[in-house]
Amino acid sequence: MIIHALLQWAWLIVARALGIITGLVVVPVALPFFVPGVSGSDGRPILNLPGWAWLWGNDYDGLLGDKRKWWDVNCDALVFFGLLPLLRRLVPIPVLQAGNYLAMWWWAAIRNPANNMRFLDAFSAPIMDSKIGYWGRYTVEDKPGLDGWQFVWAEQEGRRWYGFYAVLCWSTSRALVVRFGFKIKPEHAGKQEPRKGLTFKINPYKAI
């Protein structure tokens, strides 16, 4: 089972990496042709990439960020990993808001790259009608008191989808967080949940 999981994750990492790398080129080319749309998560109006660039778009949040307007408020501080103040000494870059071309590119190509890949069956795991199994701790979260590890799988019609989640606390506020594969949890067993997406994340000192 471990070998199968590693092989599954290996090809998914390669495919995901290709989606991210190609998005660095596709997104800036497609951005001038953005189209109005409706969020698939809450029905609000959004702007999204055109159909031919659908894979690199975001059917939930669009190009302008989250519904809380968090990206609109914080994008100027986060684009180019917070280096904009230094870059402004060399180039006259205006203060960014979510609707700026650079902010939209960063949101779609860097912060949420190839976001619509999660809607492809190959990159999501079915929960409904799946048998859920696990090794390790039943509940693991990057929150105080919920550290530990779990290896979880969903099985349906002879196929399996795997996820691994580990949290090692350094203190009451910081932890090593590792998450590979599909975002399946033991608690999903018997639930009428939508398909779960994919992640590959290592954060050695995450705030919890």
Per-residue pLDDT reduced to its tens digit, 13-56 = 999 999 999 999 999 999 999 999 999 989 999 999 999 999 99
Residue 181 pLDDT: 95
Co-location of 61 and 43 in the same domain: yes
pLDDT, residue 175, reads 94
Query: Which tens digit of pLDDT belongs to each residue from 133-165?
Result: 999 999 999 999 999 999 999 999 999 999 999
Question: For the chain, what is the HEC assignment?
Answer: CHHHHHHHHHHHHHHHHHHHHHHHHHHHHHHHHCEEEECCCCCCEEEECCHHHHHHCCCCCCCCCCCCCHHHHHHHHHHHHHCHHHHCCCCCCCCCCCCCHHHHHHHHHHHCCCHHHHHCHHHCECCCCCEEEEEECCCCCCCCCCCEEEEEEEEECCEEEEEEEEEEECCCCEEEEEEEEECCCHHHCCCCCCCECEEEEEEEEEEC
Over the stretch 99-124, which tens digit does the pLDDT of each residue have? 999 999 999 999 999 999 989 988 99
Domain membership of residue 192 as a residue range: 124-207
Domain boundary among 96, 121, 146: 121
Residues 95 and 154 grouped into a single domain: no
Evaluate if residue 176 carries a pLDDT over 90: yes
Q: How many domains does the chain have?
A: 2
Could you tell me if 103 and 137 lie in one domain?
no
Last residue of a domain, one of 105, 121, 137: 121
- pTM, two decimal places: 0.81
Residues 154 and 174 in one domain: yes
Q: Are residues 62 and 100 in the same domain?
A: yes
My answer on whether 21 and 113 are in the same domain is yes
> pLDDT per residue over 67-96, tens digit each?
999 999 999 999 998 898 888 888 888 899
| Domain termination site, one of 121, 143, 172 | 121
My answer on whether 11 and 108 are in the same domain is yes
pLDDT of residue 89: 86
pLDDT of residue 85: 85
pLDDT number for residue 60: 94
